[in-house]
Amino acid sequence: GENVEQHPSTLSVQEGDSAVIKCTYSDSASNYFPWYKQELGKRPQLIIDIRSNVGEKKDQRIAVTLNKTAKHFSLHITETQPEDSAVYFCAAGGFGADGLTFGKGTHLIIQP
């Protein structure tokens, strides 16, 4: 089955700086890679996703890159703001899978 590793487990950055969270996956059949944000006490919510026919996708301050050869994908947040503080989960899945396999999460802390 799929195995997703996520690093770092905790990331602290100064407000206004960039943050990068990295994930690796094991199953070369995986072709869908979403990122979820979970604020304290709230439900996970999809913030961006990427499919294997695309190498990069951007939505305002958030971008995701995918390297299928190396089996890794990353979340980039630029000009971080206090409301970016949350736990971020990466996930991977492919055709035929019963569901997504999630990483352990990264606790992003934005320092004022």
Tokens of 25: 């996956």
Closest approach of Cβ 14 to other proteins, in Å?
A: 25
Nearer to other proteins, 49 or 76 (CB): 49
Nearer to other proteins, 17 or 42 (CB): 42
Q: What is the radius of gyration, based on Cα positions, of the chain?
A: 13
Closest approach of Cβ 93 to other proteins, in Å?
A: 3
Nearer to other proteins, 1 or 112 (CB): 1
Contacts of 10 (CB under 8 A, 6+ apart): 106, 107, 109
Nearer to other proteins, 80 or 93 (CB): 93
Q: CA end-to-end span of the chain, whole Å? A: 41
DSSP of 40-67: TTS--EEEEEEETT-SEEEETTEEEEEE
Closest approach of Cβ 46 to other proteins, in Å?
A: 5
Residues of this chain that bind other proteins (CB under 8 A): 4, 9, 31-32, 34, 36, 42-46, 49, 51, 89, 91, 93-95, 97-105
